[in-house]
Structure 1
Amino acid sequence: MDRANRVLRAADMSRYAAAFASRAIMEARLPLDFSAGSLRIVDRVVDGLRRGVDDPVAAARTLQDLGAYFGEVLVRRARARWVDFDDTASELFRQPVGVRTPDGRAWNPLGKVVNRFELGSGESAYELFLVVPRRPKRLPLSGMADGRRQAAA
């Protein structure tokens, strides 16, 4: 089945995004390293598709790939996790999967990439990443206790 028409599942998305990034690095020499900065590349690639492709159906596969990559950046950098949307969320977001951040909010990275293609530069993967809440890494409890003891001494 064509990847653009396949049913996406949360359980497959990390592997799917990693495979896309590997292909993009090898074939197009795009430096997709799952960093926040690499999302600027995603935005520029979508802008190039907007200028070069008149038919959104022809761009669907690449948009899906870029959206999966964006979602995986959120998973790796914002501690989000892939989720399968229920029927209501899937209808709302027009996508079968998305990510959920530790605060419980659902985000639609695949749809954000499609929106940039359809609506233009006002929609940005990079800018959305900047507003997605990220939970700070936990400090080891032993380090805090030691710090408190030292401060009290």
Structure 2
Amino acid sequence: MRKADLLDELRAEVGVVSDKMSGSVHDLYRFVTRTLYSRMEPYQYTGIYLVSGWYFRRFCESGRSPLPPAVRFGEGLHSLAAARGGVVREQVGEETYVFVPFYRGHQLIGELIVIGTVEGLDDEDIAFFTELASLFESKMRELNS
């Protein structure tokens, strides 16, 4: 299956789950991290870190990550993505790290993090991750209204 077709299939799956959800957005976070990791071979790790106090704290994950469970504000690529207010994509050795922040209004809620092979993560993946972050934001608005 072509990568574009697989990403379209994932978009549809995530959309269906999101539409049926009526409780907490946390269930959506868990579904997304599990589904991306299990369906996309180049993704070696997927996780959601949420803001708590002065830290980014790992909320859910799939795969193995070299990232610590908590990262203090001002440290690492987490903070760089938050400060930029957008995607940070960094090559670290043979892997690509992608950090995608998501917000409630102007307040940072958390970040979607994907670590994958250098050749396996491209602009098509980044666009998909950005769509997911946007979905998280809209789902939070819907559930909080």
TM-score range, shorter chain: 0.3 to 0.5
The TM-score with structure 2 as length reference comes to 0.37
Higher relative contact order (CA 8 A, sep 6+): 1
Greater helix fraction, Structure 1 or Structure 2: 1
Higher alpha-carbon Rg: 1
The TM-score with structure 1 as length reference comes to 0.35
